[in-house]
């Protein structure tokens, strides 16, 4: 089923030729998308690669709107792009990940938007920096634009992973917390980087109650001039959308759910009490070490305790990564408590 109440933005990574743009749009017009996207000016990592078809692409996009009645959208990276998009009545523009990182660029875009009210979307910056993402959104708001959405397209990491860009779902979740009400769109294409990863990523976004999807599509993906591996045909997009499971968005307030929440609250309280007890013990150890003039950190002992805890937790079906992180945090705070006790002694 096509995600009801969800926005679907699709189209090629880049506008390449008039035929490619129009044929892709024809396919998408049968899918039922909300916005037709295409990059006209492309920010490429290295010089000498295809840097976008440029202004001629605008006329192809306008033709898409006239022929198929689709709303049109493109990426802007400077004032000149914004002016051209506005002059040609684009329905939406977005700020790309490489622009969001640069406050000068975002400011230039924001100033050129002053006095207009086009729909704007802001992709997350390439680096995992929530404040930079929020800052870019605020600059666009300050220019008087009211219809601003955020696009989650993943974050760069140096190591090779199965994703082109690490999803780091916590950052968009935190964004929603900081800016309640901001529509959040997922871009599985730039997160996954490969077509077979689109479906699980799109499903995860729907499960996390995202407000829409931006997915790149191309009439002939293998021949695409940019991002060939991650593009799918309009027919494949239709299949993907149809196979998404859309869960109930209404707030759950049935008795069973209230009972679960109460159990969670009580369990959280127990966790707090246990942490308090543990910290007390750390304080006592600190005092003891102070008396004996002993170093705080005993690495072997700590590593052994961590190993044992991870083993015990795994046997209980708790994720190894989670337990490791949790005990590292607890240990850090225990060290902090003991250092405080020792340094207090130094000052006396
Ligand atoms: C794009 O949408 O084609 C694009 C360049 O994306 P990003 O800014 O996320 O890299
Ligand atoms: Mn792309």
DSSP string computed for 302-314: HHHHHHHHHHHHH
Number of Cβ within 10 Å of residue 295's Cβ equals 8
Determine which residue's CA is closest to atom 9 belonging to ligand 1: 97
Q: How far is CA 72 from CA 3, 127, 150, in A?
A: 20, 28, 17
Distance of CA 97 from the midpoint of ligand 1 (Å): 6
Q: Of the residues 39, 50, 76, 192, which should be mutated to test ligand 1's pocket, given the most ligand atoms within 8 Å of the CB?
A: 39
Say if residue 348's pLDDT is above 70. Answer: no
Q: Which tokens in the block code for residue 254? A: 């049935």
pLDDT of the residue at 255: 85
Distance of CA 104 from the midpoint of ligand 2 (Å): 23
Instruction: Give the residues across from 336 on adjacent strands.
Output: none
- Where in the sequence of the chain do the CATH 1.20.59.10 domains occur? 254-347
Closest ligand 1 atom to residue 187 Cα is 9
Give me the sign of the Cα torsion angle 60, 66, 67, 70. Answer: positive
127-130 own/partner pairs: CB under 8 Å, 24+ apart? 127/101, 127/155, 127/156, 128/155, 128/166, 128/168, 128/171, 129/101, 130/171, 130/174, 130/175, 130/178
Closest ligand 1 atom to residue 227 Cα is 3
From the CA of 187, the nearest ligand is 1
CB 67, CB 88: distance < 8 Å: no
- Those residues whose beta carbon sits under 5 angstroms from the ion ligand 2 are 13, 227
From the CA of 191, the nearest ligand is 1
Tell me the pLDDT of the chain averaged across its residues.
Answer: 94
From the CA of 94, the nearest ligand is 1
pLDDT of the residue at 247: 84
Q: Which tokens in the block code for residue 32? A: 């039922």
- pLDDT tens-digit map of 270-291: 999 999 999 999 999 989 988 8
Closest ligand 1 atom to residue 39 Cα is 3
- pLDDT band at residue 323, thresholds of 50, 70 and 90? very high
Q: What is the DSSP letter of 200?
A: H
The domain 7-243 is classified under which CATH number: 3.20.20.70, 2.60.40.10, 1.20.58.1000, 3.40.50.360?
3.20.20.70
pLDDT of the residue at 347: 54
pLDDT of the residue at 2: 59
CA nearest neighbour of 333 among 295, 292, 281, 288: 281
The SS3 call for residue 178 is helix
Distance CA 45, CA 330 (A): 41
Distance CA 255, CA 246 (A): 23
CB 5, CB 34: distance < 8 Å: no
- Where in the sequence of the chain do the CATH 3.20.20.70 domains occur? 7-243
The CATH architecture assigned to 254-347 reads: Up-down Bundle (1.20)
- pLDDT band at residue 345, thresholds of 50, 70 and 90? low
Distance of CA 144 from the midpoint of ligand 1 (Å): 24
Distance of CA 190 from the midpoint of ligand 1 (Å): 7
Determine which residue's CA is closest to atom 3 belonging to ligand 1: 13
Number of Cβ within 10 Å of residue 201's Cβ equals 21
Residues with CB under 6 A from ligand 1: 13, 39, 75, 96-98, 123, 153, 190
Distance of CA 326 from the midpoint of ligand 1 (Å): 35
- pLDDT band at residue 246, thresholds of 50, 70 and 90? confident
The SS3 call for residue 321 is helix
Distance of CA 55 from the midpoint of ligand 2 (Å): 18
- pLDDT band at residue 5, thresholds of 50, 70 and 90? confident
Say if residue 244's pLDDT is above 60. Answer: yes
Instruction: Give the residues across from 7 on adjacent strands.
Output: 212
């Amino acid at each position: 089923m096509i995600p009801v109440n969800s926005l679907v933005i699709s189209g090629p990574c880049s506008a390449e030729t008039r035929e490619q743009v129009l044929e892709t749009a024809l396919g998408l017009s049968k899918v039922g998308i909300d916005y037709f996207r295409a990059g006209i000016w492309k920010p490429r990592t290295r010089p000498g690669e295809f840097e976008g078809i440029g202004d001629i692409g605008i006329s192809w996009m306008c033709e898409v709107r006239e022929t198929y009645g689709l709303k049109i959208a493109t990426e802007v990276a400077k004032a000149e792009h914004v002016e051209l998009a506005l002059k040609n009545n684009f329905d939406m523009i977005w700020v790309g990940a490489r622009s969001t990182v640069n406050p000068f660029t975002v400011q230039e875009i924001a100033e050129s938007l002053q006095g207009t009210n086009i729909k704007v979307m802001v992709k997350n910056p390439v680096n995992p920096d929530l404040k930079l993402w929020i800052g870019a959104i605020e600059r666009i708001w300050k220019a008087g634009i009211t219809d601003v959405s955020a696009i989650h397209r993943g974050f760069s990491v140096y190591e090779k992973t199965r994703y082109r860009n690490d999803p780091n779902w916590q950052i968009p979740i935190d964004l929603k917390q900081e800016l309640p009400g901001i529509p959040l769109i997922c871009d599985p294409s730039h997160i996954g980087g490969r077509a077979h990863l689109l479906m699980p990523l799109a499903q995860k976004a729907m499960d996390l109650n995202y407000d829409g999807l931006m997915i790149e599509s191309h009439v002939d993906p293998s021949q695409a001039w940019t991002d060939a591996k991650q593009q799918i045909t309009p027919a494949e997009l239709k299949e993907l959308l149809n196979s998404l499971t859309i869960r109930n968005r209404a707030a759950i307030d049935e008795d069973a759910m209230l009972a679960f929440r109460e159990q969670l609250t009580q369990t959280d309280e127990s966790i707090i009490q246990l942490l308090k007890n543990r910290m007390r013990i750390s304080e006592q150890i600190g005092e003891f070490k102070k008396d004996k003039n002993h170093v705080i950190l005993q690495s072997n002992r700590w590593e052994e305790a961590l190993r044992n805890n991870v083993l015990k937790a795994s046997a209980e079906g708790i994720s190894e990564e989670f337990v490791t992180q949790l005990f590292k945090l607890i240990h850090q705070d225990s060290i902090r408590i003991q250092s405080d006790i020792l340094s207090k002694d130094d000052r006396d």
